[in-house]
């Protein structure tokens, strides 16, 4: 994806979140990795989304399980959203609706190399949590690249961030150097950075990962 197309896609994602009903409330949108670094072309467009968890069941007289073949509409995702966008309803292997998959279906074209990270925690907090977990297990594939830019938070879009993205003005250290700044020694940071690169190279098309902190 060339750089202009990548930033256009980011703007389209933010537009959709602002204007349309989402399956769950959305609080933050970030871009991280290649697009934040100013690369052209962008091998994969990495987007981070912070969502809220629905805290109570919505009253409804519709039998969503019968209509859509999934459990959890009205308690895990909004009934209003499912009524407007039944084509985007997605479930886990257990047959329960999966908010992260619903968000990806709504926001991402399947043919484009875009990865969506969905979590209930903010980007900066989750970067630390994921790094600590990966270091403890010695499994670094799911380390979250900390080189991110906040594009939208609580209904406010950062026009300045979009301008800097288009101009490639943002400056970040290498991934290994960034991980060192977060507490890894230089050897572990290089190992983690290499694992992240190899994992990303295996991904194709649109992808999504859900996380709970």
Per-residue pLDDT tens digits for 69-85: 999 999 999 999 999 99
- 171 contact partners, CB below 8 Å, separation of at least 6: none
Q: Is the pLDDT of residue 123 over 90?
A: yes
CA distances to 54, 94, 176, 200 from 149, rounded to whole Å, are: 26, 35, 18, 19
Strands of the 26-32 sheet, one edge to the other: 156-157, 148-153, 26-32, 45-51, 114-119, 207-211
Q: Is the pLDDT of residue 27 over 80?
A: yes
Task: Name the token pair of 140.
Answer: 């670094």
The burial of 27, by beta-carbon neighbours within 10 Å (0-12 exposed, 13-18 middle, 19 or more buried), is given as middle
CA distances to 2, 177, 181 from 113, rounded to whole Å, are: 11, 26, 29
Q: What is the pTM of this model?
A: 0.94
Task: Name the token pair of 56.
Answer: 């109570």
Percentage of the chain exceeding pLDDT 70: 99
């Amino acid at each position: 994806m060339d750089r202009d197309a990548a930033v256009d896609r980011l703007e389209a994602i933010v537009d959709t979140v602002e204007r349309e009903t989402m399956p769950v409330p959305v609080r933050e949108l970030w871009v991280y990795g290649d697009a934040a670094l100013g690369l052209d072309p962008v091998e994969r467009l990495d987007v981070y989304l912070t969502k809220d968890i629905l805290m109570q069941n919505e009253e409804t007289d519709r039998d969503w399980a019968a209509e859509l073949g999934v459990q959890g509409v009205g308690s895990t995702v909004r009934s209003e959203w499912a009524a407007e966008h039944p084509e985007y309803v997605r479930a886990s292997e257990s047959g329960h609706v999966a908010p992260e998959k619903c968000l990806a279906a709504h926001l991402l074209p399947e043919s484009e190399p875009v990865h969506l990270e969905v979590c209930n925690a903010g980007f900066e907090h989750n970067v630390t949590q994921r790094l600590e977990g990966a270091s403890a297990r010695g499994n670094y594939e799911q380390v979250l690249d900390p080189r991110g830019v906040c594009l939208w938070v609580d209904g406010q879009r950062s026009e300045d961030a979009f301008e800097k993205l288009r101009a490639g003005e943002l400056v970040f250290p290498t991934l290994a150097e960034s991980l060192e700044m977060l507490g890894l020694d230089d050897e572990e940071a290089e190992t983690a950075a290499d694992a992240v690169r190899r994992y990303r190279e295996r991904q194709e098309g649109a992808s999504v990962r859900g996380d709970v902190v």
